[in-house]
Structure 1
């Protein structure tokens, strides 16, 4: 055997080892890809189930929202009917406040008139103030 033949034999052995190593890596990659395919199939099944459940849930939520809107419209209508009541109560408050102011002014006027020594009777003073 010559030196060239020995070199060729070493190169052939090295190439065979390299090919065997690549085959081992390819088998491992094939195994990982197979497991990945199984995982993807399971994920697709799970997504299908989740989508179906979400569809049912959305239908129920839509019905609930429709009922809520109906109830809210009913409450708004009933609250609208109470607006005149609150307006009347507000007007009554304004009237009572005006009456209080008038009574205060009358009392103040009567008090100052009595301090000046007026000789008119109380009933006449009141009738004069009301007439003004």
Structure 2
């Protein structure tokens, strides 16, 4: 298992994973129903490349996974870990990810599926300065 370290640029922490207000609100509701949560994003055949939300510890992470960070959500007692398969990470390591939520049917394995919405990743490329601060240049 790899733990990705945050970078700093201009005195500001550079987060690998962010969260929209809509996703934060959904996570508060889901935590009330399921308890503490976690995310895992793989590039697998069954779930495509969608972020999957599970009760914390229900999805087993290991040496083939990268811990990108912990999402702090106002109103929740503990942060929500965000994991990604190492293979998927190789494609996305140059981007900042934002967890969002949209209407539609997601995977039946992710806890938001019965709510008629699904989590979605939006991404942007890091600037050269941000990328360097993360230790890649």
The TM-score bracket by the shorter chain reads under 0.3
Higher RCO structure, 1 or 2 (CA under 8 Å, sep 6+): 2
* TM-score (ref. length: structure 1): 0.14
- Counting strand residues as a fraction of each chain, which structure ranks higher? 2
Q: TM-score, normalised on structure 2?
A: 0.14
- Judging by fraction of residues, say which structure has more helix: 1
Q: Considering only CA atoms, is the larger Rg found in Structure 1 or Structure 2?
A: 1
